[in-house]
Each structure stands twice: as structure tokens, then as C-alpha cells.
Amino acid sequence: MSLRARQYSGWSVAIFVVIVVSLVPVVWILMLSLKTSASATDGSFIPHHWTLSNYSDIFKQGIFTSALRNSIGIALISTALAVVIASAAAYAIARLDFPGKSIILAVSLGVAMFPQISLVGPLYNLWRQIGLYDTWPGLIIPYMTFALPLSIYTLQAFFREIPWELEQAAQVDGATPFQAFRKVIVPLATPGLVTTFIIVFIICWNDFVFAISLTSTTAAQTVPAAISSFPGVSQFTVPYGDIAAAAVVVTVPVLLLVMFFQRRIVSGLTAGAVKG
């Protein structure tokens, strides 16, 4: 009884610490976003004067609304493309026998470890020559590429858990390998696909390196890049409230995804890690 009670209180302390440490910066940025501009610099954690004016401010600015549109569009398209391309490759790796399987895994691993900043110079140069600089495809192409390794590893780990017999049964019933893939495996693989989609979406949504280097205007600038270039009232004032409000807006979707799909994210990332 006393052991159980001790265990219980021990876990309570551990859980409390984890929750406080994880949440303090998030709550802080939320509090800062609710401060009036006059009290933004008072350094108190909880606002003395509450306001929503920072939010109405940023939504009045073209720079933020267009950045939000760009972020959503670019992240969704990149994620969709990466998951489609990766699921084909992951299916082949998990199910088929072919030479070069280790080569494709080695290439994925190499891309995963690649210092992305090393690509910025050549891509900046090339995109300006062929007109992709400051466009959606100009960001979608690198996002999709760098999402592929993780997608392939996670998906092939999921695909291996799917019972082979069903696919064989479909083939015995006269389905071609492609039909077996489309009609049998895809429905069974949906949980894995959803998980991969969420993880990849978070990665694309979060990118800063490419966003700051390959865009310059509201045509393609995403929220992380836009926040870092928010104009202050003058050159020397920091627009604290606007930055904080924009930060909260861009954090909310991720927060919801993480809280709702916590189990999927844990299983997706750990499955890929154990097998990769």
C-alpha cells in the first residue's frame, strides 16, 4: 500500500515536471500574444491588460494571411506528393524481391543526413534561372525530397506489419500485383499512411531554411519566414505582439495534430527508428 502510494506520488511529480517544462514556453508565447502593445515589455508572465488586438492586427496584414495560405498549400501538396511517391517505393521495399533494395535505402539515409543548407546556394541559383525562385513549386520540390527518406522508412515499417496472405489470396484470385497493391494493401495501409502524412506535414510546416532562402515576397513566403521578417513600427522596435500572435496561430494546428494523433506519431517514428 505504502509502496503503491510512493510510486503514485513519484509518477505524479515526474508527470508534473514533464508537463510544466513542455508547456511553459507555449503558454508564455500565448500570454505575450494577449498583451497590449504598451504592456508587451513589462516582463510579466501573465498579462495585466488582456487584448485580442494582436490577432486582428496580423490578419489585417497581407503579409500574414498570404503566408498562412502559402504555408497550408505548400505543406499539403509537398506532403501528399511525398507520401504517394514514398508509398510506392516502400511497398516495393517491403514486399518485392529486387536487386538494388539496399541502394535505395542507402540513398534515403544519405538524403536524410544531408545538410540542407548545402543545397540552398545551387537551388537559389538554379531557381532564379528557370523561374522557380519565390514560387510554390520552388519550395514544394525540396520539401518533398527531404520528406521522402523518413516517409519511406516509416511506411515500409508499417507495410511489413500487413499480412502477406491477403495479398497472395488476391493474386490467387486472379489479381495482378498492381491490383493486389491497390485493392488489398492500400486499405490495410491507411493507418500507416495517415501517420506518415502527419509526421511529414509537421516537417514541411516547420521548415525555415528553404523558406527564408528561396522566397522573397508574399507569392510564396511561408509563415516561419514571414514571422522573421515582420516589420516593426520603426526599424528599432520589435513587433512582439504580432510575432507572438502569428506564432500562436501557426502552432495551433500542430498542437492539435500532436495531441490527437500522439499514439500514431509515437508508433510511426519509433517503428521507423527500430527498423531503420
Residue ranges in 113-142 that form contacts with another protein under rule CB under 8 A: 113-126, 141-142
Candidate list 72, 76, 77, 85; residue touching another protein; CB under 8 A: 85
Binds another protein by CB under 8 A, chosen from 2, 3, 102, 217: 102
A 10 A CB-CB count for 30 gives 17
Rank residues 77 and 120 by Cβ distance to another protein and give the closer one. 120
Give the three-class secondary structure for 37.
coil
Among 72, 135, 208, 218, binds another protein (CB under 8 A): 208
List of residues 6+ apart from 101 with CB closer than 8 A: 92, 93
Site for another protein in 246-275 (CB under 8 A): 247, 250-251, 254-255, 257-259, 262-263, 265-266, 269-271, 273-275
Grid coordinates given for 178: 498492381
Q: Does 174 bind another protein (CB under 8 A)?
A: no
Q: Which of 48, 164, 169, 187 binds another protein (CB under 8 A)?
A: 164
For residue 60, give the H/E element and its range: helix 53-60
Per the listing, cell 486582428 goes with 56
Secondary structure string (H, E, C) spanning 124-143: HHHHHHHCCCCCHHHHHHHH
Position among 51, 179, 206, 218 found at the interface with another protein (CB under 8 A):
206
Kindly state the smallest distance separating residue 208's Cβ from another protein, in Å.
4
Residue 96 is a binding residue for another protein (CB under 8 A)? yes
186 is a contact residue toward another protein (CB under 8 A)? no
Q: Which of the residues 62 through 81 are near another protein (CB under 8 A)?
A: none
- Sole binder of another protein in the list 5, 60, 62, 97 (CB under 8 A): 97
243 CB-near residues (< 8 Å, 6+ apart): 227, 230
- The answer to whether the CB of 150 falls within 8 A of the CB of 203 is yes
The string of DSSP letters for 128-189 reads HHHT-TTSHHHHHHHHHHHHHHHHHHHHHHHHHHS-HHHHHHHHHTT--HHHIIIIIIHHHH
Interface region with another protein, contact rule CB under 8 A, candidates 24-32, 48-56, 57-65, 187-195: 24-32
- Residue 161 binds another protein, judged by CB under 8 A: yes
- State the CB neighbour count (10 A cutoff) for residue 152: 30
Does position 209 interact with another protein (CB under 8 A)? The reply is yes
